[in-house]
């Protein structure tokens, strides 16, 4: 077992990293004086991972869209009971989620964290699938997919992704489609489980009112040693260009919804984090409530308080997003592109840039005082192949020119799309 303390010299915070003999990496952040404990047990397996192979496979396996999400649903049930029934006895609040690039099982509690951790490490390692239960779940998830398709916010976002991405699976709903989940059976679920729920592809993070030695004692008892299978995941080649610059869908909405996306080159590791934070600051300078663009569009009634920005990035994709409600989305699209052009010519407001950078840094420091935020930061950083402390390093070293370079090179109007859902 390899065990080391990782310390942040900027803030004095630290956590313990353990490479467990089972093959699992464990991160524990003891937070003295806190009453709650947050734990996440995650696998680097999300909706985009539909093509994979292991060292023992002769060729890549291609699986139906939505299977990672389907597997997450099924894992809470075993032959005897439901994991939620076990958590009810410890008083923990439990949940799970599947994103584009990961699946995580989690709990939060103020008492009995050791018992809850045993439950977490137990049921995630004990899959139980039968064709009968799979058939039943198909009906449940099909209804979930249909509800998502009836949600205007979902539609406007995924329509934007379909305009941006030719072949990357990120353009498909995390839950898949009604047609794709019909192809899922128990054998396929076991294959995906055995491939992606190998402990060498997973991580356990625990933060808050917790002791590292107690976590390790439970891990020693509950974890089953796994051989590294040499997992590889691949994605189809994705062109730099967009598919189309506009899409409109009719739904029952009072005010039209819009999502505006700027496609740019994806990065990995530390470079991805650096680019994401530059994007966050850049989008805030352009469209934060303190920006001239936001104020003028609000005054003219072009936008309302739903207007917001987002950095949407992961393995093989990177999009800068503006979204909200507007009676005239086309006008908003034009104004955003005009403001980007103006900033490219004249530069950013330095005072606004400095204020946003300071606020972002301060927010990142404050998150280190919240066990839930700390646990999320640890697992997200781990799967992104960066340190939880790298965000503070990037922000402390970020310059005005870095953000200007982002705006000039990554907010290209030729790679911008407008998705609208209107009544």
> Model confidence over 397-408: pLDDT tens digits?
999 999 999 999
Mean pLDDT of 98-121: 97
Please tell us whether the domain made up of 2-233 is placed in CATH 3.30.365.10.
no
Tell me if residue 237 falls in helix, strand or coil.
coil
pLDDT at residue 96 is higher than 80: yes
Q: Are 279 and 311 in contact (CB under 8 A)?
A: yes
Q: Taking the model in full, what pTM does it have?
A: 0.94
Position 79 confidence tier, pLDDT thresholds 50, 70, 90: confident
Same fold: 2-233 with 246-422? yes
Domain coordinates in residue numbering, the chain: 2-233, 246-422
**Average pLDDT of the chain, as a whole number:** 96
**Burial profile 350-359: b = 16 or more Cβ within 10 angstroms, e = fewer:** eebbeebbee
Q: What is the CA radius of gyration of the chain?
A: 23
pLDDT at residue 346 is higher than 90: yes
Catalytic residues: 72
pLDDT at residue 106 is higher than 90: yes
Distance CA 265, CA 272 (A): 10
Burial of 288 (0-12, 13-18, 19+ CB in 10 A): middle
pLDDT at residue 27 is higher than 90: yes
Q: Are 28 and 203 in contact (CB under 8 A)?
A: no
Please tell us whether the domain made up of 246-422 is placed in CATH 3.40.190.10.
no
pLDDT at residue 10 is higher than 90: no
pLDDT at residue 126 is higher than 90: yes
As given in the structure block, the two tokens for residue 51 are 């093509």
Angle at 48 between CA 50 and CA 203, to 5 degrees: 100
Token pair 């396929």: residue: 188
pLDDT at residue 334 is higher than 90: yes
pLDDT at residue 228 is higher than 80: yes
pLDDT at residue 77 is higher than 90: no
């Amino acid at each position: 077992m390899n065990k080391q303390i990782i310390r942040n010299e900027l803030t004095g915070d630290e956590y313990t990293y353990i490479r467990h003999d089972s093959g699992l990496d464990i991160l524990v952040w003891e937070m003295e004086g806190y009453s709650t404990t947050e734990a996440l047990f995650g696998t680097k397996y999300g909706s985009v991972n539909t093509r994979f192979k292991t060292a023992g496979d002769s060729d890549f396996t291609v699986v139906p869209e939505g299977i990672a999400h389907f597997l997450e649903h099924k894992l809470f049930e075993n032959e005897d009971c439901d994991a939620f029934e076990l958590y009810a006895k410890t008083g923990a609040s439990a949940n799970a989620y599947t994103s584009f690039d990961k699946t995580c099982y989690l709990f939060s509690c103020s008492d009995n964290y050791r018992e809850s951790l045993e439950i977490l490490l137990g049921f995630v390692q004990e899959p139980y699938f039968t064709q009968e239960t799979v058939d039943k779940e198909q009906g449940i998830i099909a209804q979930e997919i249909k509800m998502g398709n009836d949600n205007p916010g979902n539609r406007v976002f995924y329509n934007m992704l379909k305009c941006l991405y030719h072949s990357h699976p990120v353009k498909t709903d995390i839950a898949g489609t009604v047609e794709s989940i019909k192809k899922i059976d128990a054998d396929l679920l076991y294959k995906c489980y055995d491939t992606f729920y190998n402990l060498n592809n997973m991580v356990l993070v625990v933060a808050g009112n917790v002791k590292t030695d107690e976590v390790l004692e439970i891990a020693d008892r509950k974890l089953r040693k796994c051989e590294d299978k040499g997992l590889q995941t691949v994605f189809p080649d994705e062109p730099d260009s967009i598919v189309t610059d506009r899409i409109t869908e009719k739904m029952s909405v009072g005010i039209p919804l819009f999502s505006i996306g700027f496609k740019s080159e994806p990065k990995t590791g530390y470079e991805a984090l650096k680019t994401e934070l530059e994007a966050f600051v850049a989008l805030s300078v352009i469209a934060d409530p303190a920006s001239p663009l936001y104020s003028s569009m609000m005054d003219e009634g072009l936008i309302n308080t739903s207007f917001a920005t987002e950095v949407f990035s992961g393995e093989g994709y990177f999009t800068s997003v503006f979204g909200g409600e507007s009676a005239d989305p086309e006008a908003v699209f034009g104004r955003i592109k005009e403001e980007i052009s103006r900033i490219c010519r004249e530069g950013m407001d330095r005072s606004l840039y400095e204020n946003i950078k300071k606020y972002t840094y301060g927010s990142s420091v404050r998150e280190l005082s919240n066990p839930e935020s700390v646990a999320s930061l640890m697992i997200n950083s781990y799967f992104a192949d960066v340190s939880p402390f790298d965000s503070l390093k990037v922000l402390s070293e970020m310059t005005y020119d870095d953000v200007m370079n982002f705006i000039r090179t990554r907010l290209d109007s030729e790679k911008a799309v407008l998705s609208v859902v209107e009544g």
